Structure 1
Amino acid sequence: MTYGTQPHQPGYQPTYQPDFHSSLAQPHHGQPAPIAPARRQQHLQLPPVPSRVHPLWFLGWIGVGLLALWVIVSFVLPMLSFGAVPFVVAMTLALVPFAIVILTVMWIDNWEPEPKRLIVFALAWGALASIGLTMLFLYVFDWLSLAVLQIAPETHDVLATILRAPLLEEACKMVGVFVIILIARNTIDGPIDGLVYGGLIGAGFAFTENIQYFFNYGASEGIGATVGIFFMRGILSPFAHAMFTGVFGLLVGLALRNRRSVALYALLGYVIGVGMHALWNSSSYVNFLVMYIVLQVPQFVLFIIAIVYLRKEKATITHERLSDYARAGWFTPQEVDMLATPRGRKVGMAWARALRGNRSALMKTFVRDATQLAMARERGLSGRDPKAPVVEQQLLTRALATRQALLAP
């Protein structure tokens, strides 16, 4: 593959301009920021990937760890008292829907992958922290319902299924999205990123909850009931919790990108997530198959449509922002097409694999850094990230140094 003519003629070296203009250096909000024209420079050094997390982000892990201890004491140990084998079997069954959701979310995220440590944190929050918080609030809710208000047990069970569970579980899962915003605000560039983090938290929550369901059904009702609940939760509806929390993350990401009220969009996402959850739980009291066809299937289809649209939108933004650099001479139009279109990326990877020594790893780095460069410029142009100019400089240098290595003889 060739990248076109100048500035990529033999002997030409791509350059980094130290006095690269800030993407915020503009007289009016929204006006395209100037980019310094490309100049010659030899032997570009590859700087580290700019960190997108707060230096004190480990405090989030401390919170997860404390809640994990509570989950072990109040959730895991009681099940293990019946024997390790039933627990291991239940956990193994829970891994099936968990893997289905994770693979799907990773596909959604593959245009601009989120940092691995934040992916792990989101899963840990869902599987441990949100479960721990939910269990704490469950005790308070049950005490108010049964001891203080003295609601009849039958009524309490219905309220717990349709009202208590959606309100508490969604609130505890959604706290995780806000924690990620606090420790890594600029990692959420838009609705797709918010959807990814919400989906991961929902997947983690469903994993732990499924262990409890499969264990309880196996212990109390036998293998037949366990197979039935596995088929219902693990095969027919593995995406339920991921969608409940995903719609919240999607709206929060939309608010961050468009500089709208995060509180308002978060409230809307919470209401929608709770409503979806409550309707789904109500299937316990009506015909499950009817609710599944009428409710779950249309929701899933709408999510697929939204995801396809949002992925195309993110690709369009990437192409537009990298085109800004192309007009200034940093990239060629052919490179922009290669970096910012699905077909271009596929062709570029095939070309890189055919190079001496198989340079597909370099191509992956080039694509990743260029995409993050486009997202950083988009954040800067929106005015919501005051650190965008520094990040742009680092990512531009990385992208050019990687291209230099990619095109080396």
Structure 2
Amino acid sequence: MLGILSAGIAPGLALLCYFYLKDRFGVEPISMVIKTFLFGSLLVFPIMFIQYVLETENIIHSNLADAFLSASLLEEFFKWFIVYYTAFLHFHFDEPYDGIVYGASVSLGFATTENILYLIANGLEFAIGRALLPVPSHALFGVIMGYYLGKGKFSSSSNLKWLILSFLIPYLLHGIYDYILISQTNWVYIMLPFMIFLWWLGLWKVKKAHTLSAQYAEMQKAFHSCE
């Protein structure tokens, strides 16, 4: 059991540390990061229950619906909801990159609990595969979600567009990811380029968030110098 717990926790913790330490403009309070991580972890259980009901009631009738409704819609909406109400509205969310920290934290909390439960049910031999696919994909969906939340919170114009994109883009990417896994026989050949694209997109958003945070810091400095 110790081996399963270690293998289940390690990938998510490593990725969370990576994105947390990439924050160049004021590291977020550990207590806030832990809180959002735990909320993400607990989110697994109500979602599993809803998915169980959808399955037993035979509501989902196709791979497409399974990928985009049962999995992606439920998971990304509730992760977005948690990030929005526990972090986005909080005063510690005080620069654009913070969205990436909290988006990754909630998503990796979810991914870590899901990973542990999967390894308990199916065995330790799946640990490497899950460390390379499901856990990083959840992290990257969270990074992309957080990027748009950060952009929205500190945008000079209406933030509604960015809030919509903060849910819509991770939802679509997650749906595509699950659809590849569910519907394709030789899914590895499609998943590999998709994961490369996902990593490129996520790291590009990290770079853009750093730029936005630097610009915001300069604006704040200029504002305070005029007081």
CA shift, 1:251, in A, is 1.3
Q: Which has the larger radius of gyration?
A: 1
Quick one: distance in 2 between partners of 1:273 and 1:139?
Answer: 23
Structure 1 counterpart of 2:179, one-letter code = S
Deviations 1:371-400 (A, max 9, x none): xxxxxxxxxxxxxxxxxxxxxxxxxxxxxx
Q: Match for 2:12 among 79, 98, 103?
A: 98
CA contact 2:88–2:153 (8 Å) conserved in 1: no
CA shift, 1:126, in A, is 0.7
In the alignment, what sits opposite 1:212?
117
CA shift, 1:202, in A, is 0.5
* Structure with the largest fraction of helix: 2
Is 1:273 the equivalent of 2:178?
Answer: no
CA contact 1:90–1:212 (8 Å) conserved in 2: no
The 1:182/1:105 distance shift into structure 2, 3 A limit, reads closer
Deviations 1:273-306 (A, max 9, x none): 1111111112323233322332111121122122
* Number of residue pairs aligned between Structure 1 and Structure 2: 225
CA shift, 1:325, in A, is 4.9
Aligned-residue CA RMSD (Å): 2.6
In the alignment, what sits opposite 2:46?
133
In the alignment, what sits opposite 1:294?
193
CA contact 2:21–2:27 (8 Å) conserved in 1: no
CA shift, 1:267, in A, is 2.6
CA shift, 1:158, in A, is 6.6
CA contact 2:16–2:108 (8 Å) conserved in 1: yes
In the alignment, what sits opposite 1:342?
none
The 1:249/1:292 distance shift into structure 2, 3 A limit, reads same
CA shift, 1:320, in A, is 4.5
The 1:295/1:200 distance shift into structure 2, 3 A limit, reads same
Quick one: distance in 1 between partners of 2:64 and 2:153?
Answer: 37
**What's the % identity of the aligned pairs?**
21
In the alignment, what sits opposite 2:83?
177
In the alignment, what sits opposite 1:362?
none
CA contact 2:95–2:150 (8 Å) conserved in 1: yes
In the alignment, what sits opposite 1:234?
131
Is 1:317 the equivalent of 2:211?
Answer: no
The 1:181/1:95 distance shift into structure 2, 3 A limit, reads closer
Higher relative contact order (CA 8 A, sep 6+): 2
Q: Match for 1:108 among 10, 18, 22?
A: 22
Is 1:198 the equivalent of 2:98?
Answer: no
CA contact 2:107–2:142 (8 Å) conserved in 1: yes
In the alignment, what sits opposite 1:304?
203
The 1:179/1:98 distance shift into structure 2, 3 A limit, reads same
Quick one: distance in 2 between partners of 1:182 and 1:244?
Answer: 17
Please state whether the residue corresponding to 2:28 is helix, strand or coil. Answer: coil
Q: How does 1:3-402 map to 2 (within 5 A)?
A: 85=1, 88-128=2-42, 130-143=43-56, 145-146=57-58, 155=61, 159-181=65-87, 184=90, 186-218=91-123, 226-227=124-125, 229-236=126-133, 238-284=135-181, 285-286=183-184, 287-323=186-222, 325=224
CA shift, 1:231, in A, is 1.9
Structure 2 counterpart of 1:134, one-letter code = I
Quick one: distance in 1 between partners of 2:138 and 2:12?
Answer: 11
The 1:325/1:269 distance shift into structure 2, 3 A limit, reads closer
Quick one: distance in 2 between partners of 1:93 and 1:181?
Answer: 28
Quick one: distance in 2 between partners of 1:205 and 1:141?
Answer: 20
Structure 2 counterpart of 1:173, one-letter code = K
The 1:308/1:216 distance shift into structure 2, 3 A limit, reads same
Please state whether the residue corresponding to 1:238 is helix, strand or coil. Answer: helix
CA contact 1:133–1:172 (8 Å) conserved in 2: no
CA shift, 1:199, in A, is 0.6
CA shift, 1:161, in A, is 4.2
The 1:156/1:120 distance shift into structure 2, 3 A limit, reads same
Quick one: distance in 1 between partners of 2:173 and 2:46?
Answer: 21
The 1:140/1:180 distance shift into structure 2, 3 A limit, reads same
The 1:302/1:259 distance shift into structure 2, 3 A limit, reads same
